[in-house]
Amino acid sequence: MEDMEIDGTEAQPYVLIETGNLPITVGNRPIYTNGRYISKSTPTPLKSTKTGVVYDRRMRYHANIHEEEHHPEDPSRISSIQSMFKAAGCLEKMIPINAREVTKDEVRLVHTDEHWDFVAKTSALSEAQLGKVADDYNSIYVNKETALSARLSCGGVIELCKAVARGDVTNGFANVRPPGHHAEINEPMGFCFFNNVAVAAQCLKRDLKIEKVFILDWDIHHGNGTQKAFYNDPNVVYCSIHRYDNANFYPGDPQAGHTHVGNGPAKGKTINIPWPRPGMHDSDYIYAFNKVVMPIAYEFDPDIVIVSAGFDAAEGDPIGENHVTPAAFGHMTHMLKSLAAGKLVLALEGGYNLDSISNSALACVKVLLGEHPAKLGPIKPSQECVETIYQVIRVQSRYWSCLKPIYIDSAEEKVPGKLVIDIMDMVKLFRTRYLFSKLKMVPAPLAPERLANRFTDLVCCSNDLHCKDVIIFFVHDMADYRADTCATSNLTNLATSYMSDSVYQYIETIINQSYGIVDVDVPPPTNDTQKTDLHDLKDLLIFLWDHFVDYANPKKVVIIGAGRGCRSLMHCINDRDTMIMRSTACVIMVPGNNDPVPTIAKKGDIVNWYFENSLVLLPENHPFWTKKGVKKDSGKCIPVKGLNNMSIHDKLHILRQDIIDYFLQRLTDFIPPRQ
């Protein structure tokens, strides 16, 4: 009896509300007379919002029998949410929709016959056989009630979507499990068996002739199954905001990256917004909505919006590790309500902290019922968010007129009759010429051919390096190139675009001190060099140390790394540790904003030496400061105010005097061992 009360139906069974049972408001055309409008009758109020809800306790029967430990996809997820709806007084305002079992005919719109048979047969398996099935597949558990729960979950989403599409209800929340967005055409995975949202969307198209469906997936995991279901369908947009971590976060599918956009006529209908790390906040999600999700959704102009509403991006979720608040989920729901004449369905996917999912779902339902979302603080997206959205727009601008500027790949420009030169090549040639004309520095000859092809004109050194008692080995990112682009294309206004190189100030000071310098300009990786980039750079730095720095036999050396070169520079230190300890006065590192702080890989004297003779300058918001038990192998790390989210060259500009003063003092104090 208590379970029935949680259902919110006062022990009454769920019934499907028919269209004709709801009040319909009919407006009256006003009459214009004597210079004013008058109504023929009493004005009728606006039609009130009707919000449906799907819930069936039988979906709780799917439970884990294979492990003694608690499984995150717990049956109490949906009962906890339902209890929250009831406690907040929302259930009494919602219209229950029957969660019937999905049919084989409906499932076959997305999945294979074999997949349907596989799920159905699990109800007849022994416990040992069920355990073997779970082991054979990716992140699922199975019991004898799994098939029933999966059919109810999928059928419930279908019924709610149809009720919204017909106008029986305005919007709704499907409080269902098991979830669905990982389920592929012929394979269950990631706690999912039938792809609830994908099957529901196909049913709408077939049965109700719905033309255009917009699916938003805000679950922390990419909905690989949903993406594949519609990758060739130009009438369904699948847009996912998920944690990606360079394809290292579940499901670990490279097709979750932002460059995967759909196929053939459906290009642009798949939109992936892949976060590069955990720890994303409200501002990041709202920024993504404002910049990508809503502009595309308005241009697509869907007939209905379905949300794969996982709440594992919520604050407190142990798997997602993001920090999205209930207020932000409410705001996202509020924005989506403006689409498709308000026809909006939220279908539960993941979310594994009961408090987080319950409060987040409640915030969404309150908005569905007509309440305003709670107030958010100032929207200040992280640098990683802004960069991710920029990359998404670069790709999607080809397919959506609302996204500008349109990015044009240089490969498309390389046609007969056109001279096409990469800006990176122009910048490095100019810099080499400038350093020679102003400071008499010369390009360093490189070998073998592999390094010469990759790094020619990126390494310059003093023309009298062999005569210097002090050599500075400086490895840094290429200069910032700040381009003023046109609003509707990526054409550059040359008159207001410029290169900003803070390293020149250092080089000038070093030359004026009569020191020698080996300067390495580290280029960003390209599609052609991505796989070998770190290996090539490590080999380059070892070559330069052996054939230029150490070969010149200076009395004192200072090593400076800034940006992407820090990691490869540390490889060089690990590889040439004895020689480097003998002659190096200090090592200075300025890693990128989210680059890992490089560490000494060996044990022994090198660890203590590096800690005593290093200075690692980090912004206060660098991920390094969230780690526990920091060790000496990271060097002497110092937080610096005012560096948050800056480019490497902006950091070097601010830190210039501190870095120069530091290495000048260390050179003064350093007593080289006798040769």
Instruction: Please give the positions annotated as active site.
Output: 182
Cis peptide before 405 (omega within 30 of 0): yes
CA distances from 525 to 52, 360, 430, 532 (A): 51, 40, 20, 9
The sign of the dihedral angle between the CA atoms of 122, 204, 21, 53 is positive
Vertex 379: Cα angle to 373 and 380 (nearest 5): 155
Taking Cα atoms as reference points, which of 552, 526, 560 lies closest to residue 453?
A: 526
The phi, psi pair for 408, rounded to 5°, reads: -115, 125
- Do 149 and 59 contact (CB within 8 A), yes or no? yes
CA distance 521 to 565: 9
Contact by Cβ (8 Å): 68, 170: no
For residues 277 and 292, give the distance between their C-alpha atoms in angstroms, rounded to a whole number: 19
Q: Which two tokens stand for residue 51?
A: 């919000």
Task: Identify which of 221, 242, 219, 229 has the alpha carbon closest to the alpha carbon of residue 186.
Answer: 229
Helix (H) or strand (E) holding 584: strand 584-590
Max Cα–Cα distance, the chain, nearest Å: 108
Distance of alpha carbon 229 from alpha carbon 214, whole angstroms: 13
Instruction: Determine the Cα angle at 122 with ends 121 and 127, to 5°.
Output: 135
Rounded to the nearest 5 degrees, what angle is found at the Cα of 481, between the Cα atoms of 394 and 616?
105
- Judge residue 21's burial from the number of C-beta atoms within 10 Å of its C-beta, 0-12 exposed, 13-18 middle, 19 or more buried: exposed
Number of neighbours of residue 590 by Cβ within 10 angstroms: 25
Task: Report residue 337: phi and psi, to 5°.
Answer: -65, -20
Type of residue numbered 83: S
